[in-house]
Chains A and B, each alone.
Chain A
Amino acid sequence: MKDPNKVIIKLENISKTFRTRASLFKGDQKEVMALKQVSLNIYRGEIFGLVGESGSGKTTTGRLIVKLEEPDDGKLLLDGNDITKIKGKALKNFRRKVQMIFQDPYQSLNPYFSVYDSVSEPLVVHNVGNSEIRKDMVRESLNSVGLAPPDDFFYRYPHQMSGGQRQRIAIARAMVLKPEFVVADEPTSMLDASIAIHIFNILSEIQKKLNVTFLFITHSLAAARYLCDRIAVIYKGELVEIGSAENIIQNPSHPYTRALINAHPRFRF
């Protein structure tokens, strides 16, 4: 149900610079331009892949979209509305619609929160429903990530669960409010390759069921190809290539994309 005419998230000339921390020597302070005038349109209902190496700016892009960071320049639009500088109530409303799945499942869940506590957190924060309704919503979310029967997991704690299970709980938490746009920041880079596929399938199913738009950030072109409709390749803070997954891989136009393709392990048997 992709609607090519509806742009949900738009980045217009976004720039972001990081200053390294002050040190004893003034000379050591460096400025790193993480993003240089990046412009991007993401359409409703698609799974959009952002592929790049560490330091390329891909994670910064994701963090800017969920407003964990502020851009130094440029505009960010959600459904055509300028959300670059929103605060207060508008920001809280924004957070109902835009969510994030973090990279490290071992650190993205509060060790003192039970599974129920973690997944119901967005519901509590936004004052949705009462205790019974919340339990049902949490159950639905846990079911959608394959943690069944959900009630068995309610009172477990993160340290009792594997990395793959923890990441699924993080996904359940991100999806419990049925957001419109979700940034998945390298959701499988800390998990075994065999679990990764399972996570991709879950994300794909969720996308089909809820028509949510995903920004999938990864360093693996092959993973992006498996999961995404369109891909953008980012290198040193700039988008060097954008297009459909197949197109980019069959006809790469930028030398960096070609280097990425050549470096990828081959199944030579």
Chain B
Amino acid sequence: MALLTVKNLSVGYHTRKGFLKSVQGVSFALDQGKSLGLVGESGCGKTTIGMALMGLLPDNASVTNGEILFEDQDLLKMSKKEIRQIRWKKIAMIFQAAMNALNPVHRVSEQISEAILAHDADISEEAAMKQVESLFQLVGIPPDRMRDYPHHYSGGMKQRAIIAMALACHPSLIIADEPTTALDVIVQEQILSAIKDLQNKLKISVIFISHDIAVVADVCDNIGIMFASQLVEYGRIEEVFHAPMHPYTKSLLASYLTLDKDVVQVNSYIGKTPDLINPTTGCLFCERCSVAEATCSLRAPEWVNISLTHKALCYQCK
């Protein structure tokens, strides 16, 4: 039984110009202990999904459709109080640029123990601090750095502290939104392997949200490619990387620069972002697609099952 099942989720924002359909009909499932990568460019809706899972959508957002089943309970039908019970204790989130969210005038260990105390009424301050110690050990921060202030930490250490904070209440699911932005390659690799390590040790499920397919390549079991509010391809990571089906996935993989592939000139084309206030009825990727045909702009594409676990939203991949 899956830990998390998202069924047909649709979310939009009320803006001055109209109702912006940020997420349309997204479905996926995640088993306990597995990780999922959600990859797409800015504005595709991936962060909105993360916020919806945490119950942290802003006031001008509305969920227009769908279910989010976490441990068999629909998060969307819960009251604010019930969600607060789940947030941080069962589902934790590492926000974008979270390391900048550390309060500069409090010691790092205090901030983490505060998070623990806030969510667990029974624990004592000493016990909380002991937990902080073990968390630091888990994420690889030396114990003598515990009482430092955030500005004494490097970018990588701050990010580790944020991960420790997310783990503080032993959640079963962590949502990591761009966990390695602004970090150098070497530090990025350390953070990603730390997360992978934690996943194996603690059997936590992780959802990685990123615009960079490289980040999820090493750490995820499954991957979902998002474009303009829709999930366009989904499958096990080996399947999607080996045999990408959707034209957008192919272009994403082509722009993934590594050191071992041959240097090949990549043909790129940037199109306009599709209008999500009045989206067309046809395929939203049509304008940017190199293999688009006449029917693509008229009829919305349907899911094509390439294997039991791999599917793509495109007519061209039969």
Determine direct contact between A and B, CB below 8 Å: yes
List chain A positions with a Cβ less than 8 A from chain B.
53-54, 146, 162-164, 192-198, 201, 219-223, 225-226, 249, 259-269
The answer on a CB contact under 8 Å between B186 and A53 is: yes
Q: CB-CB contacts of B78-103 with A at 8 A, as 1s and 0s?
A: 00000000000000000000000000
Interface residues of A, dominant DSSP: helix
Q: Are A267 and B260 CB-contacts (below 8 A) given A163-B42, A198-B268?
A: yes
> Chain B contacts of A54 at CB under 8 A?
155, 184
The reply to whether B252 and A220 form a contact with Cβ atoms under 8 Å apart is: no
B211 at the interface (CB under 8 A from A): yes
Closest to A194 in B: B255
- Chain B residue numbers with a CB within 8 Å of A264 are 185, 189, 258-259
Given contacts A54-B184, A194-B252, A267 and B258 within 8 Å (CB-CB): yes
Interface residue from B186, B217, B242 paired with A259 (Cβ < 8 Å): B186
Nearest opposing residue in chain B for A245, CB measure = B263
- With a cutoff of 8 Å between Cβ atoms, the chain A residues found around residue B257 in the complex are 197, 220, 222-223, 225-226
Which B residues touch A259, using CB under 8 A?
Answer: 186
Q: Are B185 and A201 in contact (CB under 8 A)?
A: no
List residues of chain B with CB within 8 A of the CB of A249: 259
Q: How far is the CA of A144 from the CA of B61 in the complex (A)?
A: 40
Having A193-B256, A194-B255, A195-B270, one finds 19 other A-B pairs with CB under 8 Å, namely A162-B273, A164-B270, A193-B212, A193-B252, A194-B211, A194-B252, A198-B269, A198-B270, A220-B185, A223-B257, A225-B257, A226-B257, A249-B259, A259-B186, A265-B215, A265-B258, A266-B258, A267-B217, A269-B241
Instruction: Give the residue name and chain of the A residue nearest to B215 (CB).
Output: A265
Indicate which residue in A53, A146, A193 contacts B185 across the interface (CB closer than 8 Å): A53
Cβ contact of A193, chosen from B155, B213, B273, cutoff 8 A: B213
Q: Give the distance in Å from the alpha carbon of A146 to the alpha carbon of B269 in the complex.
A: 10
A-B pairs with beta carbons under 8 Å apart, 9 shown: A53-B186, A193-B255, A219-B185, A222-B259, A223-B257, A225-B259, A260-B185, A266-B259, A269-B241
Closest A residue to B216 using CB positions? A265
Looking at the assembled complex, report how far the CB atom of B223 sits from the nearest CB atom of chain A, in whole angstroms: 11
B238 at interface by CB-CB < 8 Å: yes
Kindly count the residue-residue contacts between A and B in the assembled complex, taking CB atoms under 8 Å apart.
95
Contacts of A146 in B (CB 8 A): 270
CA distance A263 to B42 in the complex (A): 25
Are A263 and B259 touching (Cβ within 8 A)? Answer: no
Q: In whole Å, how far is A159's beta carbon from the nearest beta carbon of chain B?
A: 14
CA gap between A145 and B110 in the complex, in Å = 50
Verify if B293 is at the interface (C-beta below 8 Å from A): no
- Closest CB of chain B to A264's CB: distance in Å? 5
Q: A192-B42, A265-B214 are in contact. Are A260 and B263 (CB under 8 A)?
A: no
Is residue B188 within 8 Å, beta carbon to beta carbon, of the partner chain? yes
Contact among B42, B187, B259, B273 for A221, CB-based, below 8 A:
B259
